Structure formats: structure tokens, C-alpha cells
Chain A
Amino acid sequence: MVLARPRTVDQVLEAMAATPDALLLGGGTDLMFGVNAGHPLPERVVALRRVDELAEVAATGQGHDLGAGLTWRALEVRLAQAHPALAAAARSVGSPQVRNAGTLGGNLGTASVTGSTLPVLAALDAKVVLASATGSRAVPIAEFLRGPGDVDRRPGELIVAVRVARVRGPQQFLKVGLRASVITAVVQCGLVLDLDRREVRCGLGAVGPAPVRPAAAEGFAAEAIDWHRLRAEPGVARRFGELAAESVDPPADLHAPAAYRRHAVRVLAERALTRSLAA
């Protein structure tokens, strides 16, 4: 195994251009799993730990570019005001050890079904910024995440940032699992109320190969909310939850049956909207 330890994004891109099949090493929380289980490593690994510029939160006109090297812990601490749902999602991930090491870029690149930032980024209509030696592009998250481990990242491309627009309005993140901490998510729900656009955006995670945006539920809620006073009639949140649940076809697995996942979507979506309207 050959290990490259670049210090700048340019150096990363050079290394990737030279060896497009190089594996990128962020916090190690995914790669090292395989190493410890004895899986063979690829010939080349590019470690991103020392690329300080990837760990920046850069203000843009519309919001922020969140560096792909930001750890969960950094997201939790630094985004509490600007993007509270994302900060809450980051705080809910794994253990303190994992939160200190795992990165935003890693979460996106691995695209696990249960990746906690992913449904929130979906609700925020985030864009994934990829850079290569030949340029850069920003991909809407819904197009970037195609399925578990399947993302729109071309050879030689590096996830450098996630572009998130600042949204005026309440945000929520809820997830349910099987114990009080270090929770493997059974269902996740990120909710964003956009007061300026009068939109409701909901990201449902761990219910399918990629986060789901329940369009019918979002549309219903947008219509039903009194945006001026940020209130809704009794029953609106419940209906929102039901529509969200109808939009998913969740799997059954070791951790939960499909019926429970569907039920939990209904409950989490309803609670997220209720909390947003009561805020």
C-alpha cells in the first residue's frame, strides 16, 4: 500500500489524477473497518487528514460551503446557529470517538443507507461540490446520492464541500433507533420550513437506498400552513405524517420490520412539523 498525505486540495487532486483508483481516507470510520476485518486494501490511499482547507466553513452569498473535511464534532459545534438540523444530526451520530474522526465528505462518499447527515442535506436541497484537476461542479444532492455506496463521483474527483443555502425558518432533526446513544438509525427525519419561499422540505433517511423527499406531504403542508403566523389547524401535522409515511417503501431488516419503519416515519414527520409550528 502506498499512502499519499497531501496538505492542499491541489495536491490531493494531483495524486488522484495520477492514480484515479486511489482510495480516499477521511476519518477512517469506514475504510478501517475493512482493514481490521482483513480485507485487502487498494494499492494506493490518499489521506485527507492534513488538508486543512477542507475543514473550513466558508460563508457564501447564499449560505455556506461546508468543507468535506469537517468532522461531525465540528459540524455540531460550528453549525448550531446557522444550520441547526445539520448540527443536531451530527451530534446524534455514533460515539464521541467517531464524531471526532468521521467527516462530512466521508458520510457523503460512503453514502450509507443510515448516514445521518444525508436526509438533512436532502431537506436543505444541498449541493455537493466536487473538484478535479480539470475543474469543479456542484451536484444537487438528490442526483449525487444514487443508492448505498453509489454516488455521482467520477474518477479523479474529490468531494470538497457541501453547499448549503441559509434558510430562514425552523428546522428539526429526529431519528429513532434501538438504544439511547450510538444509535444505528432505524428512521431519520430532517425537516426545514422555508419562510421566504413558503416551502416545506422533508428528508427521510434509512427508509430506502437514498433519502426520500415526500413530495405529496411537502406540498400538502406548504398549502395548509398559515405562513404568516406559522400555525396550522389541528390534524395538519398528523396528515403530513401520514402522507410522508405513504411515500416510503421501507425495508425490513435485522433492526426493524417494514411496518414499524413506515409507522415511525409517520410519527417523526408529524412531530417534526408540530415542533416547527410551535417554535
Chain B
Amino acid sequence: MTPAHLARVAAAATPTPAADTPAAAGGIQDPAGPYALRVNGEVRQVRGAGAADSLLRVLRDELGLTGAKDACEQGRCGSCSVLLDGTLVASCLVLAADAQDAEVMTVEGLAAAGERTRVQQAFLDHGAVQCGFCTPGFVVAATALLTEAPDATEVEVREALSGNICRCTGYGRIVAAVRAVQAGDP
């Protein structure tokens, strides 16, 4: 059984004439116009201007959300981690304009100002924060893990956090903090 889209393509004998209209080409971006992102439950306007900015750059430089960090901007450190439709991604590797229609959650959106989630409190209680540059990324990654796999084993916890680099702690207290949340410690 041929997948449906291949069947349709096979039936199209001639190419459709080039047309830069959104209707014809499935949403061509107006190069000069602003666009909207949904970040932490709010609609935020982004300049656009044809820029090829990463989601990380837009969050930090345009939206004032500097929680996500730029330790490498090569997808190799995890300090830029955010949730995109609930999935953990490196925001430095997401084209911001392509994140329209998606729900973006950054560390700032996890708890109301002045409040902390259990993960955040556990990081404080277990000495998991030193310089703190990696901390927002870890908090987001741990939050994603505990949502998806609350009963993860310690090895699974480490695997889930293996995309987040910490240079200060050696990870011991970070893993202890996550394990404490799993154990329901106060």
C-alpha cells in the first residue's frame, strides 16, 4: 500500500506554477513582518525582519527572557534547553520563526515569580547550584524527565540529563536533587 502522500505526488504530472502566495505554498513567511510566539503561556510579538535568529536569540535578546543560556550555541551543552510542545529541545538549534504555533516553555515559565517548583527547590536544598549557568537548562530537562518518566531509574535519570553539561558540580548534587523529588522528599 503506497503511503497516501506518495500517491498524490505521483498523480501530479506537471509542476504547479511558482506562486509566493500563502495559500499556494503553505504559509510562506512575509520576510519583513513580525510574528508571534507563544512563550510561557503568553503571546509575544517578535520583530521578524527576515532574520534567521535561533529561538535562543529571540528569547534572550528580544523577549528579555535570559534564563536560557548561550554557553555554546552549538547544541552541545544543554544550557539553552526549553520545552517545545512539552518536548525538551536545544533552543539554539530551533529557528525562532519555525516555532510559531508551538508552545514554548522556558525556566521562567515553570513557576510564578517568587515561587518555585519542587525541582527548583530540590536544586537549592541539595547543593545542586554553584555558578548556576547550567541550572536553568537542567531544571527544564529534569522537569521534562519527571513529567515523562517519573519512575526513571538513576541510570535513566543520568541518561535523560546527559545532554546538559555542568562544569562546577560534577553532577552528584544535581542527580541527588532529582532523585529526592522522585522520592517525594520535602
Contact = CB atoms under 8 A, between A and B. Distances in A.
A267 interface: no
A14 interface: yes
A81 interface: no
Contact of A32 (B18, B29, B87, B93): B93
Given A18-B19, A47-B98, A129 B6 contact: yes
6 contacts: A1-B50, A11-B27, A28-B93, A95-B90, A97-B75, A182-B76
A5 B12 contact: no
Contacts of B3: 53, 56, 58, 65, 160-161
A159 B75 CA distance: 24
B175 to A, nearest CB: 14
B89 A60 contact: no
Nearest to A101: B89
B9 interface: yes
B6 A15 contact: no
B25 A18 contact: yes
Contacts of B94: 28, 32, 101
Given A6-B25, A28-B93, A33-B75, A182 B98 contact: no
Residue among B14, B90, B97 having the largest count of chain A Cβ atoms under 10 Å: B90
A2 B50 contact: yes
A45 B26 contact: no
A27 B87 CA distance: 13
B1 interface: yes
Contacts, number: 173
Residue among B5, B15, B159, B162 having the largest count of chain A Cβ atoms under 10 Å: B5
Nearest to B87: A100
A17 B16 contact: yes
Range, interface on chain A: 35 or more
A25 B99 CA distance: 12
A13 B28 contact: no
Given A10-B12, A17-B16, A45-B95, A36 B74 contact: yes
Contact of B27 (A4, A27, A56, A61): A4
A31 interface: yes
B93 A101 contact: yes
Nearest to A158: B9
Contact of A5 (B26, B78, B81, B92): B26
Nearest to B57: A36
Given A14-B26, A18-B25, A181-B159, A32 B75 contact: yes
B163 interface: yes
A15 B50 CA distance: 18
Contact of B15 (A9, A47, A100, A133): A133
A122 to B, nearest CB: 23
A19 B18 CA distance: 8
Nearest to A94: B163
Interface of A: 1-15, 17-19, 25, 27-29, 31-33, 35-36, 41, 45, 47, 49-50, 53, 56, 58-61, 65, 94-98, 100-101, 129, 131-136, 156, 160-161, 180-182
Contact of B8 (A1, A5, A10): A10
B16 A31 contact: no
A96 B162 contact: yes
A102 to B, nearest CB: 9
Interface residues of B, number: 53
Interface in B89-125: 89-90, 92-95, 97-98, 100-101
A97 B97 contact: no
A12 B76 CA distance: 30
In the A-B complex, the 10 residue pairs with the closest CB atoms = A95-B163, A11-B26, A6-B26, A18-B18, A3-B29, A181-B162, A9-B5, A133-B15, A36-B73, A97-B90
A176 to B, nearest CB: 17
B160 interface: yes
A49 B87 CA distance: 13
Contacts of A32: 54, 75, 92-95
B28 to A, nearest CB: 5
Given A5-B98, A8-B5, A14 B74 contact: no
B12 A28 contact: no
Given A10-B12, A25-B98, A31-B95, 15 more contacts: A2-B29, A4-B25, A4-B27, A5-B100, A9-B8, A27-B93, A32-B54, A32-B75, A33-B74, A35-B54, A36-B92, A65-B3, A96-B88, A100-B87, A161-B6
